[in-house]
Structure 1
Amino acid sequence: MNVIIVEDEKPAARLLQRKLDKLGIATATMLHSVEEAIQWFSSNAHPDLIFLDIQLSDGLSFEIFDAVPINSAVIFTTAYDEYALRAFKLNSIDYLLKPIDEDELEAAVRKYRERAPQPQNLSLDFEQIKRMLVNPAEKAYKKRFTIKMGQHLKMINIEDVECFFSENKGTYLHTYDNRDYLLDCTLEQLENELDPSEFYRVSRKFIIPMKAIKDIVVYTNSRLKVILPTYKDDEVIVSRERVNDFREWLG
């Protein structure tokens, strides 16, 4: 299988490459911009499969298809919410929601392989997809949460959130006054509602805001431990595969 990755964030591209390596899939090359991709596709044999980010540093990746006819199969890697992703389903495109889960990645590759004997046909309505996408610069992120407490509703502003965490199949909001509130959503759903420049999912269990980081300590197995102001119930560990991306996020 001949695979390439088109992703403007180099740490994310390397992370995806490592996950593909675990599946025994070698990556032929990595491209990081619309311009670079157009030049590459114009002068090289096209791959069997493309892992394609939506928002690249110099524009939407759909511009690549406008410039060069491509017949490769595509798996989109995206941070867009479920409303935009409906477009991909309508067009029979597979997609992976960032951060990419290894089990979902394996399932997507399996899906491709099951369809591989059939001729690939990218008769995709990219204009429809673009219309359904929200420009990240214009996206309205979550500003507050409404918590039901008995017969009362409590409003919690995003500035008061020290972290989000999952426990016993529940998702909780932890505030700077050291209180926990149960939310009616998952961490995956929260990721799409939070400003990615301010919040980062350090592991499967935690999403933290940058301003809540009190200290960062080198931990075992090349991981990092984040110290928060009041949350002490469990260690907040940056998983090893996210360390490089976490450092990039910190700037």
Structure 2
Amino acid sequence: MDVIIIEDEKPAARRLNRLLSEFNVSVSTMLHSVEESIEWFQNNQHPDLIFLDIQLSDGLSFEIFDMVEVKSAIIFTTAYDEYALQAFKLNSIDYLLKPIDDEELETAVKKYQNFKPENQKLTVDFNDIKKLLTNPLEREFKKRFTVKVGQHLKIVNAEEVECFYSENKGTYAATLDGRNYLLDTTLEQLEEELSPEVFFRVSRKFYVNVNHINDIISYTNSRLQIKLNRFNEQEIIVSRERVRDFKLWLE
């Protein structure tokens, strides 16, 4: 598997290279600008997979694809939040929000290895993506869920959910009334369905509602602990890789 990294922040590129080496993925080239990347693609065989930052020092990386036809698969590595990225997540192999989480990186690599495109032209419409990045994404988000309680179906409004969490391969909604309802979905699917203005995935296990956060406490290893108004059955810890984005989200 031939892999390259396009990233203008050299420390970030080196860190990504190091993380990939832990998964036995060898990076053949690291590029740092639009101009350098265009020249490289015009004079070299294209790789199997590109780890692509969106915002480079001399422009958006989409400008590369205006100049050359690239058939490589792409995993986005970007500081842009999920609000814009949701719309085209399925068109690429995956995307990783900075700072990159090593477990999410491993998942993305495995997703590519399972996909293994062979000489297929990349299907991402970069013009559509550029529009998404410059215009607010207008869409309706999920407002309610139906859950089974015994022989009955109960309607649970999203605004009443303090947090969603995964446990024993199940996904649960913890509500204001202190109940925990099993849902027929996953946290990954919920990220596509819930408003990113209200909900934030603080870790692989928890997805919290900003309107029900009661307290935020400094925790070990530069992490944060979240206290919700009612839910107290488990500790909710913001993973170290997500602390920066979580703070930005709160603002």
TM-score with structure 1 setting the length: 0.68
Change (3 A) 1:141 1:227: same
Equivalenced residue count is 226
Q: Which amino acid aligns with 2:30?
A: A
Could you tell me whether the CA contact under 8 Å between 1:52 and 1:74 is conserved in 2? no
In 2, the alpha carbon distance for the partners of 1:180 and 1:83 equals 32
Instruction: Give a deviation string over 1:83-120, Cα, whole Å, max 9, x none.
Output: 972xx4xxxxx6125567233234256579x88xxxx8
Question: Among the aligned pairs, what percent are the same residue?
Answer: 45
Question: How far did 1:173 drift?
Answer: 0.6
* Map of 2:225 onto structure 1: 225
In 1, the alpha carbon distance for the partners of 2:6 and 2:165 equals 31
* Map of 2:166 onto structure 1: 166
The answer to whether residue 190 in structure 2 is matched with residue 190 in structure 1 is yes
In 1, the alpha carbon distance for the partners of 2:143 and 2:127 equals 27
* Map of 2:30 onto structure 1: 28
Secondary structure of the structure 1 residue equivalent to 2:147:
strand
Change (3 A) 1:210 1:15: farther
Question: How far did 1:196 drift?
Answer: 1.8
Could you tell me whether the CA contact under 8 Å between 1:54 and 1:76 is conserved in 2? no
In 2, the alpha carbon distance for the partners of 1:144 and 1:15 equals 40
Q: Residues 1-251 of structure 1 correspond to what in structure 2 (within 5 A)?
A: 3-5=4-6, 19-20=19-20, 22-23=22-23, 28-29=30-31, 37=34, 39-44=35-40, 48=47, 49-52=49-52, 64-65=64-65, 67-71=66-70, 73-77=72-76, 85=90, 88=91, 95-96=93-94, 101-108=104-111, 121=119, 123-127=121-125, 137-251=137-251
- Most deviating of 72-81 and 236-245: 72-81
Change (3 A) 1:141 1:73: same
Secondary structure of the structure 2 residue equivalent to 1:142:
coil
Cα RMSD after superposing both structures? 4.2
Change (3 A) 1:173 1:111: closer
- Most deviating of 163-172 and 102-111: 102-111
In 2, the alpha carbon distance for the partners of 1:212 and 1:17 equals 39
In 1, the alpha carbon distance for the partners of 2:193 and 2:14 equals 25
Question: How far did 1:218 drift?
Answer: 1.2
In 1, the alpha carbon distance for the partners of 2:108 and 2:95 equals 10
* Structure 2 segments unaligned to the other structure (5+ residues): none
Secondary structure of the structure 1 residue equivalent to 2:243:
helix
